[in-house]
Amino acid sequence: MLFSAPFFPGQLYGFVELFSFSGQPLNPYAGMVQGTDGNFYGTTAYGGANGDGTVSEMTSTGVLTTLVSFSGSNGSNPYAGLAQDSDGNFYGTTIYGGTSGDGTVFKVTPGGVLTTLLSFNGANGSEPLAGLIQGIDGNFYGTTSVDGSLGGGNIFRIDSLQSSPPMTAATDSSHIIVSWPEDYPAFTLQTATNLNPPVNWLDVTNSPALLNGQFTVTNSLAGAKFYRLRY
């Protein structure tokens, strides 16, 4: 025997409020994106430790964690949502802040490490109100609402899979010293013990030092290792 439940047009089924904003952070204008870890990631345009907006993570049960509080110099007021790359990181925009106050493009890891990839300055556009989309070429595409070469906003591309910057290495009795130009601040040094597929690339946790225009990382020489720079 078959049974069917009655259907009433317009009836709302299963609404559950998972989290209510009331102070810090504030004003989530954009929707959230579900990460590959199953949690949800999004932005708020205001609030946070500095009042300039946040990036947050939320579990499916409504536990919210603020990962990033913007502070002006690293961006302000992210009105748009996030896009997740195959590397697991999230990419987004802020409409203000950055080095010129005209907005930024940023990358944030699921653990909350923020990297400013681009600061808008008028000449390259200003105030990106919308978020980014990733094309089939792996690059991210977006728009600015004003400025650019003709003053009315522009369409831009952020190369996610850029060619790796020139990298040099030197060794002493127990360490390898890897260096690359300071013009490439968004790259992360990774290492692997072998190149047999699937290669297990791991981030080098030593923070790079800036010496004579070069990012420099000193790592143990123990074991046969391979190095690359990942954007």
Tens of pLDDT, residue by residue over 133-170, are 988 777 899 999 999 999 999 999 887 644 567 889 99
In sequence order, what are the residues at sequence separation of 6 or more whose Cβ sits closer than 8 angstroms to the Cβ of residue 1?
none
Q: Would you say the pTM of this structure is higher than 0.85?
A: no
- The span from the CA of 211 to the CA of 213, in Å, is 6
The 3-state secondary structure of 89-105 reads CEEEEECEECCCCECEE
Of 2.60.120.1440, 3.40.190.10, 2.60.120.260, 2.120.10.30, which CATH number belongs to 33-158?
A: 2.120.10.30
pLDDT in tens, 118-133: 999 999 999 999 999 9
Residue-range domain boundaries for the chain: 33-158, 168-230
Per-position b or e across 75-99, b if 16+ CB within 10 A of its CB? bbbbbbbbbbbeeebbbbbbbbbbe
Cβ atoms within 10 Å, residue 35: 16
Mean pLDDT of 98-124: 93
At 166 the three-state DSSP class reads coil
pLDDT at 98 over 90: yes
Residue 80 has pLDDT above 50, yes or no: yes
Contact 219, 175 (CB under 8 A): yes
DSSP tag of 23: S
What are the φ/ψ torsions at residue 107 (nearest 5 degrees)? Answer: -120, 140
